[in-house]
Structure 1
Amino acid sequence: MDKWNLIIDVAECHNCHNCVLSAKDEFVGNDFPGYSAPHAAHGPAVIRIERRVRGSGHLSDAAYLPRLCNHCDDGPCLKAGADGSVRKRHDGIVIFDPVKAKGRRDLVDACPYGAVVWNEEQQLPQTWFFDAHLLDQGWAAPRAATACPTRALQAVRATDAAMAERSQREGLRVLQPELGTRPRVHYRNLHRIDCLFIGGSVVATVDGRVECVEDAEVSLAQGGRAVATTRTDAFGDFRFDGLATGSGAFTVDVHHAQRGQAQVAVVLSDHSITLPTVRLN
């Protein structure tokens, strides 16, 4: 059967916090029997946005990662709340029962993603429950998704097979797949959060003036093997993204038919690298 999934495009999230505010507005002070007790006005939110900055100078890159309940098919919270405190609906949505989960602070620690918050006043663990109360009334998407001005959050209802095929086709990934929780929240452009880049700017001296070099061929090699190639833009900039942390030593080769060539050695450890200006000879 079709089940709910959420696709989040990291490249389209601009930290406006509309999703965070819409969830606060929907949940705080409002009681939805069977779905959720009123959420707390203060304290951790069930939707939060994390910021990741990579690189430096004119090639610095800031990206934002919305985090919320992943509605995992095999989540540790489901095992910990097997007494009915936590249940998985047939449409894939995970619900923390506002009655049976009373006093179950241990369910907060059961989530490896930190997506469960503790409501001290209600003595309840609470999550973003996919706005199931609205979907059951006929809404086409959760309020958090409809509030996003860039459509960075997109609710999708599909079979597991169709979602797996789409993830493969569009390069969607989930957070911490090694946990084996089978999340239903999928991310596009997640490399801007968990990968590194090597970038730089290329210049050459032309008639006594230093100018940016456009359309130079730039190749990235490791251990004598080509890893990727690209070309400089109108500002002479280039970037190789999606590199794993601790990748080690690389060689960057730049070549332009009229302006010359250059080679730079670089070691990638745990931070993205913006190279010093590359000057062609």
Structure 2
Amino acid sequence: MKVFVIDVENCNGCYTCQLVCKDEHVENDWSPIAKPQPDTGHFWLKMTEKTHGQVPKVKLEYVPQGCVHCDNAPCMKAAKNEAVYKRPDGLVLIDPEKSQGQKEIVEACPYHAVYWNEALQIPQKCTGCAHLVDEGKEPRCVEACPHECIKFGEESELADLIAKAEIMLPEVGAKPRVYYVNLPKLFVAGLVYDAQKDEIIENAKVSLTCKTTGAVLQATTDDFGDFWFKKLAAGNYGLTISAQGYETYEEAIIVDQSLNVGDIALQAVPLNN
């Protein structure tokens, strides 16, 4: 069965995937797979953009999102008359004729990937470009991505990527067939400097201890005095900074979003007379 694997590490937010989805489906009738997508209001593939951190420690997150073609699809359960169905290749489709008037299909999707076409009175979503797949072609978003972030193929062929991937909203139990690699996580970053000299401190030892698990992460300040801890889970942490000739710095921090702890001044150890 087919799957999508999306590696967001190289995604630079060019929006090509979103644009070609529009190009393929707006004003094009691919019945019986799908009726035309409206000019506005629908994003069958939507590039979501989020800013993490605070200036100057900032990362931009770009994640292409659409229907995840669930094996246990909530929209299929909500539909009447088998208006939503799964093909043998794994793609979940909405029948544009049988789904007429069934707005509950839109409301059933926990991923908010189904849209209501007011003019046609039908629910619509990503089809995985099933009309192209049936011709032996790739979905438009896969074919057009300049950085090859989106892959589509047999589950067995993409097994190595799936093994290190994760799914969106695993808690809902929908069993999606769209996998994500290198999803952005939270980070903690900062800068360390000498309070008296007003100069950055290189090679300071920085530790971040998770209060829940006791796990300790280690980092060292770089040539600019910066340190980064990436791919963190939300929680309470203890930050410790030490450098030769300086007093140890300690701080408790709450990580519920990516955090720039700012410029941290270390005090030199007083010289003994």
Paired residue for 1:214, among 202, 208, 213? 202
Question: Residue in 2 aligned with 1:265?
Answer: 251
Answering whether residue 160 of structure 2 is matched by residue 149 of structure 1, we say no
Answering whether residue 239 of structure 2 is matched by residue 252 of structure 1, we say yes
Measured in 1, the distance between the counterparts of 2:106 and 2:31 equals 21
Offset of residue 120 of structure 1: 1.4
* Secondary structure of the corresponding residue to residue 149 of structure 1: coil
Answering whether residue 228 of structure 2 is matched by residue 231 of structure 1, we say no
| TM-score of the superposed pair, with normalisation by structure 2 | 0.88
Gaps of 5+ in 2: 269-273
**What percentage of aligned pairs have identical amino acids?**
35
Paired residue for 1:18, among 5, 16, 19? 16
- How has the CA–CA distance of structure 1 residues 142 and 80 changed in structure 2, closer, same or farther, with 3 Å as cutoff? same
Measured in 2, the distance between the counterparts of 1:84 and 1:143 equals 27
* Secondary structure of the corresponding residue to residue 49 of structure 2: strand
Offset of residue 32 of structure 1: 1.1
Offset of residue 85 of structure 1: 0.7
Offset of residue 159 of structure 1: 3.6
Q: Is the contact between residue 18 and residue 46 of structure 2 (CA under 8 Å) also seen in structure 1?
A: yes
Answering whether residue 192 of structure 2 is matched by residue 197 of structure 1, we say no
Give deviations 1:132-175, integer Å, cap 9, x for gaps: 11111011x21111211122222232249x74x6433x2x1111
Question: Residue in 2 aligned with 1:185?
Answer: 178
Q: Is the contact between residue 202 and residue 222 of structure 2 (CA under 8 Å) also seen in structure 1?
A: yes
Q: Is the contact between residue 262 and residue 279 of structure 1 (CA under 8 Å) also seen in structure 2?
A: no
Q: Is the contact between residue 219 and residue 226 of structure 1 (CA under 8 Å) also seen in structure 2?
A: no
Measured in 1, the distance between the counterparts of 2:122 and 2:89 equals 24
- How has the CA–CA distance of structure 1 residues 47 and 226 changed in structure 2, closer, same or farther, with 3 Å as cutoff? closer
Give deviations 1:150-207, integer Å, cap 9, x for gaps: 22222232249x74x6433x2x1111100000011111222x2xx42221112237xx
Q: Is the contact between residue 74 and residue 180 of structure 1 (CA under 8 Å) also seen in structure 2?
A: yes
Measured in 2, the distance between the counterparts of 1:95 and 1:261 equals 63
Count of aligned residue pairs for this structure pair: 266
The one-letter code sitting in structure 2 at the alignment partner of 1:239 is W
Measured in 2, the distance between the counterparts of 1:220 and 1:7 equals 32
Measured in 2, the distance between the counterparts of 1:58 and 1:113 equals 32
Measured in 2, the distance between the counterparts of 1:4 and 1:16 equals 25
Question: Residue in 2 aligned with 1:43?
Answer: 41
* Secondary structure of the corresponding residue to residue 23 of structure 1: helix
The one-letter code sitting in structure 2 at the alignment partner of 1:263 is Y
Measured in 1, the distance between the counterparts of 2:220 and 2:142 equals 36
Offset of residue 23 of structure 1: 0.7
The one-letter code sitting in structure 2 at the alignment partner of 1:52 is K
Offset of residue 216 of structure 1: 2.9
Question: Residue in 2 aligned with 1:79?
Answer: 77
| TM-score of the superposed pair, with normalisation by structure 1 | 0.86
Measured in 2, the distance between the counterparts of 1:24 and 1:204 equals 54
Give deviations 1:40-62, integer Å, cap 9, x for gaps: 11212211122222211111122
Q: Is the contact between residue 10 and residue 152 of structure 1 (CA under 8 Å) also seen in structure 2?
A: yes
